[in-house]
Amino acid sequence: MADSFPFPYNYPDMRFATWNVNGIRAVLGKGFEESFRALDADIFALNETKWSNDAEDSFPVHFPGYSLAFTNSKTRKGYSGVAVFYKRQPLSIHYGLEEGKYDEEGRVITLDYDDFYFVAAYVPNSGEGLKRLPFRLEYERDLSAYLQDLNAKKPVVYCGDLNVAHNPIDLKNPKANEGNAGYTAEERNALSGLLAKGFIDAYRYLYPEKVEYSWWSYRFHAREHNAGWRIDYFLISDRLKDRLKETTIHTTITGSDHCPVSMEIDLDA
């Protein structure tokens, strides 16, 4: 079906990055700006910015050569939030899912380009005692429908903190965490279901057996002992897989309890 779409790309490799900064103000002064420049992404998504001011020029950091789109929680200050720095101007920018759903929590930004959609998200955490699991699963259903609709039109690059370790290889202690937020059967099945509908996990596609993590608890010296979880992803339309060049989890970059993840695709192949 979607495989029949042409690829009118006329530009070379693109580099994408995503990073849960766990508060943009908190990460500033911890090497964030240097790391941002070193990653040199064409499009760079930040998750969990916790930025409350929605004034257009209020965001506390800007970079020459980049434009910025950001969204935040309208219902709770200092909560959630997504920002996207981009070099190439999109045709349009959309906030939330269909009809802006979930934008009240500042969860999703979509950049629409001639050749692809870029979707940056901070997926809801199911929370202590799984109190938000029903909300999370509703979000997953709506997200899947949204991404499938986009994918029927042109390829999709979807990324962010998806708040789920998909398989046992994706976290240090899978047995001890069974049923905990981020490793419930329901959350893992939701990701499996999305992948079955025309998407691939870029990192796992390239590295089916590699063990690396993108998040470590601040407790118990988890990062020092590499007791982490891989919960930050790039999911891409299946028809882009032969153009995928690299996906890197930048475990040595600090400043947050997450590290950045980058991806390179040759869109001029």
Phi, psi of 100 (to 5 degrees): 75, 15
**Which tokens belong to 26?**
């908190």
| pTM for this model (two decimals) | 0.94
Q: Which residue has the tokens 């990062």?
A: 223
Residue % of the chain over a pLDDT of 90: 88
Please name which of 239, 251, 253 lies closest in space to residue 197, comparing C-alpha atoms.
239
Candidate list 86, 113, 117, 122, residue with the active-site label = 122
With vertex at residue 145, the alpha carbon angle to CA 139 and CA 150, rounded to the nearest 5 degrees, is 120
pLDDT value for 42:
97
pLDDT value for 268:
64
The pLDDT tens digits for 8-53 are 444 468 999 999 999 999 999 999 999 999 999 999 999 999 999 8
**Which tokens belong to 133?**
């699991």
Q: Catalytic annotation on 238?
A: no
Q: Are 45 and 151 in contact (CB under 8 A)?
A: no
Q: Catalytic annotation on 161?
A: yes
Candidate list 103, 161, 170, 232, residue with the active-site label = 161
Q: For the chain, what's the residue count?
A: 269
Least confident of 84-93, 244-253, 260-269: 260-269
C-beta neighbour count of 47 within 10 angstroms? 26
pLDDT value for 7:
40
- Listed in sequence order, the residues at least 6 apart from 183 whose beta carbon sits closer than 8 Å to its beta carbon are 164, 165, 171, 174, 177, 229
pLDDT at 1 over 50: no
Name the strands in the sheet holding 199-201, side by side, starting at the edge strand that comes first in the sequence.
92-95, 108-112, 117-122, 156-161, 232-237, 199-201
**Which tokens belong to 118?**
């870029």
